[in-house]
């Protein structure tokens, strides 16, 4: 990890830059795969799964018996952990379900908004170096609460051609029956365009690497909605001398182990904290099974010493992290100044992994600085909100002068006429209802 002391503000853009691939080459590669999937359907899915995952697919849909095998293979401890996490996630997200409230904006003019579940949604669950079955809970539970009628799940097969049993068990537990053994760009293309096996969906959810993120953005430009640009994982920590350095190091490593393109950032007002955290990172890293991934990510990561808490908060808001941990004195008061972050963790006993798995909040969050404008996934992400209005005779008569004046000023005479013709009808026919 690089240690940077008292950087001037005009250097922050460079300092806070995320690791990126060559986007021009990335987009060209992804576009070619998407075009192939759109044209050749299942045949392209098989070909790219063999090329990228080294797996010859015998079946793109996961057969029913695979779920039964997963149920036998998965231990009760993990099943119970998933049940606990699911209950907390459901409790938190159920509170987001909105009731319909009718607002009378003026006498006789009623307006309301009704949330309607998106009919067909696709969930992308990364596999690769780690089967992220927890993401199924984070996406399927709010989708079900929102009332989505068709939920499709795509996830890459392992090297043995099978999907991890925890992924299949979590899918069945959350009520998903349509699971497809495909990953990466080809999975995004399959859900966006539809193939002989995979249904076309209206909106795609789920994190992934830079190829998956690029694919989501490209299909979004072509007309398929996506949740957000969710790329490689990241965490920022603000720590002062009230922190426990071993905890901070563990939090940094918990994100670094996601993959080589992940990034972690520590911002602190204390040189002592930097020294202690750096030593703890080195010691804990050696004990991690995924230390090679974490070590690579740490090459892109930084420990930054700043002058005071004001400068720290300005820097963190500029960075707009996916996850922000406040391991400091008066954390709750300081956190009121957070304006750009996906999810915030307060105090020494709130590890980011609590949100990743079981506290109840959603872990599908904006990365790469998109927290300046995007929220994490919620029930709202899975609904369309349709507005309704009803005007009575009296309501239309009362509001008509305002509508007519505005329409006339904009030169839209037919708009004015749509109101005027009704007003004249009401005035000439008192029996009109």
Binding residues: 124, 186, 209, 233, 255, 258, 323, 356, 410, 415
Non-local (6+) Cβ contacts of 147 within 8 A are: 116, 117, 383
Active site residue 323: yes
- SS3 of the chain: helix, strand, coil, percent, to 5: 50, 15, 35
Q: Which one of 234, 257, 280, 322 is the catalytic residue? A: 322
Binding residues for substrate: 233, 255, 258, 323, 356, 410, 415
Bridging pattern class, strands 2-5 and 302-305: parallel
Q: Which one of 323, 329, 363, 404 is the catalytic residue? A: 323
Bridging pattern class, strands 109-117 and 383-391: antiparallel
Q: Which residues pair with 384 in a beta bridge?
A: 116
- Specify whether the CB–CB gap between 266 and 277 falls below 8 A: yes
Non-local (6+) Cβ contacts of 262 within 8 A are: 232, 233, 234, 255, 256, 293, 297, 300
Active site residue 322: yes
Non-local (6+) Cβ contacts of 159 within 8 A are: 53, 54, 55
SS3 412: coil
Binding residues for Zn(2+): 255, 258, 356, 415
- Burial (Cβ within 10 Å: 0-12, 13-18, ≥19) of residue 22: exposed
Tokens at 267, concatenated: 């911002």
Rounded to whole angstroms, how far apart are CA atoms 179 and 188? 14
Rounded to whole angstroms, how far apart are CA atoms 324 and 195? 40
Q: What are phi and psi of 74, to 5 degrees?
A: -80, 135
- Specify whether the CB–CB gap between 140 and 381 falls below 8 A: no
Phi/psi zone of residue 150: left (φ > 0), alpha (ψ -120 to 50 degrees), beta? beta
Binding residues for NAD(+): 124, 186, 209
Residues marked as catalytic: 322-323
């Amino acid at each position: 990890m690089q240690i940077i002391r008292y950087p001037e503000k005009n250097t922050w853009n460079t300092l806070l830059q995320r690791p990126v691939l060559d986007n021009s080459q990335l987009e060209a590669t992804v576009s070619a795969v998407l075009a192939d999937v759109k044209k050749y359907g299942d045949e392209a899915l098989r070909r790219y799964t063999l090329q990228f995952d080294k797996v010859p697919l015998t079946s793109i849909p996961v057969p029913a018996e695979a779920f039964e095998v997963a149920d036998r293979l998965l231990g009760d401890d993990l099943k119970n952990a998933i049940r606990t996490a699911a209950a907390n996630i459901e409790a938190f997200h159920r509170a987001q379900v909105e009731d319909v409230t009718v607002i009378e904006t003026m006498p006789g003019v009623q307006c309301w908004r009704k949330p309607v579940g998106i009919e067909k949604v696709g969930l992308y669950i990364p596999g690769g170096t780690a089967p992220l079955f927890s993401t199924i809970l984070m996406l399927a539970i709010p989708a079900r609460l929102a009332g989505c009628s068709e939920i499709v799940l795509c996830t890459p097969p392992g090297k043995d051609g099978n999907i991890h049993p925890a992924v299949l068990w979590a899918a069945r537990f959350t009520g998903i029956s349509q699971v497809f053994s495909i990953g990466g760009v080809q999975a995004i293309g399959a859900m966006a365009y539809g193939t002989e096996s995979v249904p076309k969906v209206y909106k795609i959810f789920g994190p992934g690497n830079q190829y998956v993120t690029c694919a989501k953005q490209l299909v979004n430009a072509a007309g398929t909605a996506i949740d957000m640009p969710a790329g490689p994982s990241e965490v920022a920590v603000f720590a002062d001398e009230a922190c426990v350095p071993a905890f901070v190091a563990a939090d940094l490593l918990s994100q670094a182990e996601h993959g080589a393109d992940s990034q972690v950032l520590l911002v602190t007002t204390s040189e002592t904290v930097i020294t202690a955290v750096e030593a703890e990172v080195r010691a804990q890293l050696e004990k991690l099974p995924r230390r090679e991934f974490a070590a690579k990510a740490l090459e892109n990561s930084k420990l930054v010493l700043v002058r005071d808490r004001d400068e720290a908060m300005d820097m963190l808001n500029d960075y707009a992290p996916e996850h922000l941990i406040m391991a400091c004195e008066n954390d709750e008061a300081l956190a009121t100044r957070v304006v750009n972050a996906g999810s915030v963790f307060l105090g020494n006993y709130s590890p980011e992994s609590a949100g990743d798995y079981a506290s109840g909040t959603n872990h599908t969050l904006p990365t790469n600085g998109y927290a300046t404008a995007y929220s994490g996934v919620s029930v709202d992400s899975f609904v369309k909100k349709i507005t309704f209005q009803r005007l009575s005779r009296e309501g239309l008569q009362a509001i008509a002068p305002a509508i007519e004046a505005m329409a006339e000023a904009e030169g839209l005479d037919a708009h004015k006429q749509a109101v005027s013709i009704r007003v004249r009808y009401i005035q000439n026919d008192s029996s009109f209802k």
